[in-house]
Amino acid sequence: MDPLLEGLRLVAAPDVLIAIFASAVYGLVVGSLPGLSATMATALLVPVTFWLSPIAAIATIITASAMAIFSGDIPGALLRIPGTPASAAYTDEAYAFTRKGQPELALGAGLWFSAIGGIVGTLSLMLLAPALAEVALSFSTYEYFWLALLGLMCATLVARSSPIKAIASMLLGLLIACIGMENPAGTPRFTFGIPDLLGGIEPIPALVGVFAVSEVMRAMASVEPPKMPFRRFGSILANQWKLTKQYQWPMWRGNFVGIVIGVLPGAGADMAAWVSYAMSKKFSKTPEKFGTGHAEGLVEAGASNNASLASGWVPSLLFGIPGDTITAIAIGVLYMKGLNPGPTLFTERAGSMYALYIIFILANIIMIPLGIVMIRVASRVLRAPRAAVMPIILLLCAVGSFATGNNLFSVLLVGLFGCLGYVMEKNGYPIAAMVLGIVMGNMVEQSFITSLIKSDGDVLPFFERPVSAFLAALTLGALFWPVAAWAWKRLAPRRAPAAVG
């Protein structure tokens, strides 16, 4: 029997369709709550999958994770509270739209380009899986080191601030990531004897603190802004086709970068969004508009992070290596349901594999109507008085961070990070750069230290392999950009004194 038809037959079963719909709604709701990540939404589904047929079980995981990643953008755009580390890269951009009174444009772009990214990512999974898997397997720790460093360098590009302050913020994030014993040496560092610090600082409480709590703190210190004139929420999809044509090239670049980063185990949607947003700004004709409510970066990063979600399944399906935390959970479910990862899955169980692809595409298609409903419901929050919304956000911050590990220590962390975020923001230190440092810290150190251990302290292997040499060149280029830009600024006035204001 044709595997494609077999796949269609498997997906068309009523229990699978119900599972897709129910988990879509579930993923949208959970992802939009601050502090609850897509990983958490997926993990909570695992006990439910015990009772489902194999295809329905996988369908719930795929659908819920795709929905949760998209809906993480909703609180980011409306309230400046990113739902996931992936959306932290462009939260300020999306929130700038809301302040201009066009939240529907930012959210619509998030929805539309997420769906496109998801579908393109799935196609890459279908057509290129074996080739992509070989790329993933050829990456050793040296390549990962350069990749991680390149990711960190995005901090200077993303921020609308002094590059030196951006680097300082990122270093602060890296220092925070040093806390605990989850380092290559397994030695507790900077724990000050507090057992809760042994496991390190989780990105979610830090993220919620620096973005959401500091936003509530700012609200306390300012007078309520005048209400925006009441206006019907515009059509959500109307402008997206125009954007698709206008920013076609960034969109494809975002898809491509997302697919490549997603395939590499350990570098998931978070990094894809950051790198794509930074690339978009770097190659844009109008980089000065970034951060003021400009769609270009949203298009590229939105496409990128969902594309990486789909291609992240490649190493998981072929070698059982999780591409990110979500696929780590999914691998468990695959084994449980007898769909053991491995090359044989693609040959002997081709029908099931096609079913999986179809579910991916289906999930990204129903994301559009469900997402529109979700955006319309969520945007009511903007019309509520600020004094009613902000306290509830604070409560959600407390409960959401508690839920990450059922540990009250996280609630204290959220408060501390709120203060830190507030002070940093007031003094021109970009908080997104610090979040990037926290998210990437472990990968940077891990790849750096293990590479040194493997090479017995020799630096040469960092540059020897062809891929690592290429990545090294890119990274060093990005590293010296701020210095060059600074020198340029200092020299420029002498050549054109009238240009300085």
Site for other proteins in 76-135 (CB under 8 A): none
The reply on whether position 224 binds other proteins by CB under 8 A is: yes
CA angle 276, 122, 110 (to 5 degrees): 45
User: Among 449, 431, 436, which residue's Cα sits nearest to residue 177?
Assistant: 436
- What are the beta bridge partners of residue 367? none
Number of other CB atoms surrounding residue 176 within 10 Å: 21
73 vs 202 by CB, closer to other proteins: 202
- State the Cα–Cα distance between residues 226 and 194, nearest whole angstrom: 45
248 vs 292 by CB, closer to other proteins: 292
Residue type, 476: L
Local structure of 417: helix, strand or coil: helix
The reply on whether position 181 binds other proteins by CB under 8 A is: yes
Q: Which of residues 445-474 bind other proteins (CB under 8 A)?
A: 445-446, 448-450, 452-454, 456-457
Residue the block writes with tokens 């040194």: 452
2 vs 15 by CB, closer to other proteins: 15
Q: Out of 87, 114, 379, 442, which residue is the one contacting other proteins (CB under 8 A)?
A: 442
361 vs 461 by CB, closer to other proteins: 461
Q: Which of residues 49-68 bind other proteins (CB under 8 A)?
A: 50-51
User: Among 319, 314, 320, which residue's Cα sits nearest to residue 333?
Assistant: 320
Q: Which of residues 368-427 bind other proteins (CB under 8 A)?
A: 385-388, 390-392, 394-399, 402-409, 411-412, 414-416, 418-419, 422-423, 426-427
Nearest-approach distance from CB 431 to other proteins, in angstroms: 14
Cβ proximity of 59 and 21 under 8 Å:
no
User: Among 247, 293, 290, 283, which residue's Cα sits nearest to residue 113?
Assistant: 247
104 vs 445 by CB, closer to other proteins: 445
Nearest-approach distance from CB 287 to other proteins, in angstroms: 13
399 vs 474 by CB, closer to other proteins: 399
Nearest-approach distance from CB 300 to other proteins, in angstroms: 22
User: Among 375, 380, 404, which residue's Cα sits nearest to residue 28?
Assistant: 375
Cβ proximity of 417 and 172 under 8 Å:
no
Stretch that binds other proteins, among 122-130, 326-334, 349-357, 470-478 (CB under 8 A): 326-334
Cβ proximity of 362 and 17 under 8 Å:
no
119 vs 269 by CB, closer to other proteins: 269
Residue type, 315: P
User: Among 309, 397, 305, 411, which residue's Cα sits nearest to residue 361?
Assistant: 309
The reply on whether position 221 binds other proteins by CB under 8 A is: yes
Q: Out of 103, 108, 188, 297, which residue is the one contacting other proteins (CB under 8 A)?
A: 188
The reply on whether position 223 binds other proteins by CB under 8 A is: yes
37 vs 364 by CB, closer to other proteins: 37
Q: Which of residues 240-269 bind other proteins (CB under 8 A)?
A: 265-266
The reply on whether position 138 binds other proteins by CB under 8 A is: yes
User: Among 423, 459, 430, which residue's Cα sits nearest to residue 93?
Assistant: 430
Q: Out of 23, 42, 60, 280, which residue is the one contacting other proteins (CB under 8 A)?
A: 42
368 vs 449 by CB, closer to other proteins: 449
Stretch that binds other proteins, among 138-146, 273-281, 301-309, 367-375 (CB under 8 A): 138-146
Nearest-approach distance from CB 469 to other proteins, in angstroms: 17
Q: Quick one: three-class SS letters along 124-171?
A: HHHHHHHHHHHHHHHCCHHHHHHHHHHHHHHHHHHCCCCHHHHHHHHH
Burial class (CB in 10 A: 0-12, 13-18, 19+), 411: middle
